[in-house]
Amino acid sequence: MKKIVLFLICLSGFSLYAEDALLAKIDALLTYPESDFSAEYTIIEDKPGQGQKKTVAIIFRRDEVENATIIITAPDSNKGKGYLQQGAVLKVYDPVSGRFNSTSSRDRFENSNMRLSDFTQSTLRLDYKIISSEASKLGTMDTMTYELEAITDDAPYAKKKIWVGPNDVLLQVEDYSNSGQLMRTMVIPKYKKVGNRLVPTNLILIEALRGKMVDGEFVPEKTVVVVNKPAFKAVPDLYFTEAFLERFSK
């Protein structure tokens, strides 16, 4: 009996370790601690009844110390507005008042369907635990689906469902509220190999609650994100300071 209990404990421990390792592996795919990262994000929002809105932002990341800088370069009305992450602190710079306010990675980026956490390094292992898994299909692809539950207050959503493809590539994420309400679906249909790293270069975000009734049918807001010029090159330290955002303010 003792052996069975011991075996079950070991099995449970191994299972937890394996699940933890999987989330860590997905994080590792989307996190670049060995090098600075920079890219240009083009975000096209399609709001039913309102047409399309395009925002362009550049991002610099230093995942080793959890630093990131995001600066909006278009449209002109928001040019120079920036976000600065220094460790666990995330600030937004308002060029009009010249002041920094703290913000949360859960907050929307410029009232779009992107969360600030979508720009920065993946922290699935720190924020979630796997509660179930099953084999699944996404289109014609064989995938594994995992249901995740938040274990920290910092998690952007209370629950998630993720689809993982071959080589543990993250293909799709559904974000849920605590009550189980679907909030958002994120699809990653395209990655680019830069050096020996994979970078998601195309993301599609579909809101479950934000949208409009058109001809009696709910049409959700959609956002397409195209990541251009991904690079793993050293970035000057100055780029991760408030002074750098002040330099961009127009």
Partner 1 sequence: MKKVVLLCILIGILMPILVAEVNSNDFFSDIETLFDEESESTDSGEGTDTAIDTDEFFTGDEFVIEDSEPDESDESVDINDILQNDVPIFKGNLNLKIGASGGLVDFSDEEIRWFHGAESDSLLSVDIQPFSYLRFFGQIGVLLNETTLEFSAPDIRQFYVDYTVAETVFIRSGFTTTTWGNGRMFNNPGNLAKETEDAFSLKFSFPVFSSTFTGLIYSNAEYQKNDTAQKAAYAFLFESVINDISLGASAAYRYKKPNPEAVPPFDASMYVKTAIAGIDFTAEGVAHMDFDESLSYLGSTFEGILNAFYENTDMGVKFYSEFEFGFDAFAFYDRIVGFGLSLSKVKFGPLSPRLLASHHIDDLSGQVIIGLKGEIVPKVYLEIGLPVTYGRDGTYFITENEDPLKRRIALAVALDLKYTF
Please, which of residues 188-217 interact with partner 1 by CB under 8 A?
189-195, 198, 201, 204, 206, 208-213
Q: Are 143 and 131 in contact (CB under 8 A)?
A: no
Q: Does 106 bind partner 1 (CB under 8 A)?
A: yes
Figure out which of the listed residues 138, 144, 224, 226 binds partner 1, where binding follows CB under 8 A. 138
182 binds partner 1 (CB under 8 A): yes
Rounded distance, CA 71 to CA 83, Å? 6
Q: Which residue has the tokens 């069975």?
A: 4
Q: How far is the CB of 241 from partner 1 (least distance, A)?
A: 5
Q: Assess 101 for contact with partner 1 (CB under 8 A).
A: yes
Judged by CB under 8 A, the residue of 9, 16, 89, 126 near partner 1 is: 89
81-104 per-residue burial string, b: 16 or more CB within 10 A, e: under 16: bbbbbeeeebbbbebeeeebeebe
Q: Does 8 bind partner 1 (CB under 8 A)?
A: no
Nearer to partner 1, 133 or 165 (CB): 165
Distance of CA 112 to the CA centre of its chain: 13
Helix (H) or strand (E) holding 47: strand 37-47
Judged by CB, which is closer to partner 1: 15, or 212?
212
Q: How far is the CB of 34 from partner 1 (least distance, A)?
A: 16
Q: Contact region for partner 1 (CB under 8 A) — 9-17, 24-32, 123-131, 135-143?
A: 135-143
Q: Check residue 243 for interaction with partner 1 (CB under 8 A).
A: yes
Q: Which of 8, 10, 11, 65 binds partner 1 (CB under 8 A)?
A: 65
Alpha-carbon gap, residue 97 to 76, rounded angstroms: 17
Listed residue (250, 226, 228, 247) closest to 238, CA to CA: 247
Under DSSP, is residue 30 helix (H, G, I), strand (E, B) or coil?
helix
Token pair 């050096």: residue: 195
Residue 38 binds partner 1, judged by CB under 8 A: yes
> Residue 139 interacts with partner 1 (CB under 8 A)?
yes
Pairing of strands 170-176, 37-47: unpaired
